[in-house]
């Protein structure tokens, strides 16, 4: 079956996560992606382990590099640099996340390539832009800190917390993918390529959604609230008899059902809790009332009862439980790809569903060309 981006040639000059994640999204949709890696080491994430898969490959690298072919080229070598330039001039899309200005200095900048390939879509991903922030290092955790995400993550009286995954890189990769597709649509109509600029900081600020608008439109500086929601209650983790239960009530009807299942229907009519603003204003009292009832049953039992009453609730899965849930729901959360050496690698499925041009899984993440694993030499 044809892919939505068949015949699209992408040159991936990026490394680590944001850029590789974007190019993997394009590759899953059919694009032909060539990944340029540095001699000897390759993408930084090839060395980011443990954990490793059965073949000794860092699982971090595997997460963002399927459906690509890898070539090893040294940008300091004139012949290799000329080859990279050739690939760039033949590409429809170039994605890079070098320090701003570096590629301009070696003839691989946007203006250099556009002069010869005016249809080129050139996506640059940086931490803080090409201006005053060009020299700042764009690492995900640093951006989580400087961009405010850590200030709203964690318990109020504990230290600020990062999110448990490089979320800013993933968001930037998704924004990059959207920008590239929009630029390609413009090229289809006009014949002209363009530059796509993505910054990690801007990506994070945009993704803060209601927390950001609380500041920009309401003048409120949000703070850490643990697992509580600033605008909805009850929408948090609560204690049941044997462990934790998530309750995510979004409207008064759901709250009334929660109170009924919990054996306290009068709470729904209590002036302190009858409306969402009232519940937010009295969340401590509400939590005490609910946890007194929740202590009577185990979390799994509450989750089953509340779900049956259409109250959003559930226990907290580890990743094994999460993948098990998705499998049990028939969502087929993983795909298995076979390497050239016959070894299999299991990865997360692309979540995009397309009825006519679905994502495809053609290539396992590449071994680093020239490495013992790539050559089949196990000595």
Residues with catalytic annotation?
A: 169
CB-CB contact of 162 with 144 (8 Å): yes
Virtual CA dihedral for 134, 135, 139, 145, nearest 10 degrees? Answer: -90
Cα distances (angstroms) measured from residue 353 to each of 45, 129, 169, 257, 361: 28, 33, 23, 33, 14
Q: Which of 38, 41, 43, 40 is nearest to 24 (CA)?
A: 43
Instruction: Round to whole Å and give the CA distance between 176 and 124.
Output: 8
Instruction: For residue 306, give the H/E element and its range.
Output: helix 299-308
Residue 325: what are its φ and ψ, rounded to 5°? -60, -50
CB-CB contact of 350 with 359 (8 Å): yes
CB-CB contact of 128 with 201 (8 Å): yes
ω into 294 cis (within 30 of 0): no
Instruction: Round to whole Å and give the CA distance between 138 and 128.
Output: 7
Instruction: Round to whole Å and give the CA distance between 165 and 16.
Output: 13
Residues whose CB is less than 8 angstroms from the CB of residue 369 and which lie 6 or more positions away in sequence, other chains included: 37, 70, 71, 72
Instruction: Round to whole Å and give the CA distance between 337 and 231.
Output: 43
Instruction: Round to whole Å and give the CA distance between 270 and 283.
Output: 13
Instruction: Round to whole Å and give the CA distance between 141 and 237.
Output: 25
Q: Which of 344, 361, 371, 332 is nearest to 53 (CA)?
A: 344
Q: Where are the beta strands (DSSP E) in 249-333?
A: 313-314
């Amino acid at each position: 079956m044809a892919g939505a981006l068949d015949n699209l040639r992408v040159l991936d000059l990026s490394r680590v996560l944001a850029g590789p994640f974007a190019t993997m999204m394009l590759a899953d949709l059919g694009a032909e992606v060539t990944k340029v890696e540095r001699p000897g080491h390759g993408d930084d994430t090839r060395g980011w382990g443990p954990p490793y898969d059965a073949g000794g490959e860092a699982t971090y690298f595997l997460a963002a590099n399927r459906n690509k072919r890898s070539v090893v080229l040294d940008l300091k070598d004139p012949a290799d640099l000329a080859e990279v330039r050739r690939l760039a001039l033949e590409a429809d899309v170039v994605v890079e996340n070098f320090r701003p200005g570096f590629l301009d200095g070696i003839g691989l900048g946007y203006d250099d390539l556009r002069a010869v390939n005016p249809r080129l879509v050139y996506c640059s991903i940086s931490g803080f832009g090409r201006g005053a922030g060009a020299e700042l290092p764009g690492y995900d955790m640093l951006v989580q800190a400087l961009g405010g995400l850590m200030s709203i993550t964690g318990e109020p009286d504990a230290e600020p917390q990062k999110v448990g995954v490089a979320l800013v890189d993933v968001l930037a990769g998704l924004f990059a993918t959207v920008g590239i597709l929009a630029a390609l649509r413009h090229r289809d109509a006009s014949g002209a390529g363009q530059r796509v600029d993505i910054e990690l900081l801007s990506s994070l600020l945009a993704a803060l959604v209601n927390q950001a608008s609380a500041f920009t439109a309401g003048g409120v500086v949000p703070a850490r609230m643990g697992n509580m929601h600033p605008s909805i209650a009850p929408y948090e983790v609560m204690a049941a008899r044997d462990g934790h239960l998530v309750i995510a009530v979004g409207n008064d009807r759901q709250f009334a059902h929660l109170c009924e299942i919990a054996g306290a229907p009068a709470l729904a009519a209590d002036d302190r809790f009858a409306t969402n603003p009232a519940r937010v204003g009295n969340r401590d009292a509400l939590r005490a009332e609910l946890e007194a009832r929740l202590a009577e049953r185990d979390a799994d039992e509450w989750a089953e009862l509340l779900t049956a009453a259409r109250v959003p609730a559930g226990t907290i899965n580890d990743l094994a439980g999460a993948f098990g849930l998705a499998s049990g729901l028939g969502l087929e959360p993983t795909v298995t790809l076979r390497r050239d050496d016959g070894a299999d690698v299991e990865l997360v499925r692309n979540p995009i569903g397309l009825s006519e041009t679905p994502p495809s899984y053609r290539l396992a993440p590449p071994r680093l060309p020239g490495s013992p694993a790539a050559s089949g030499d196990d000595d």
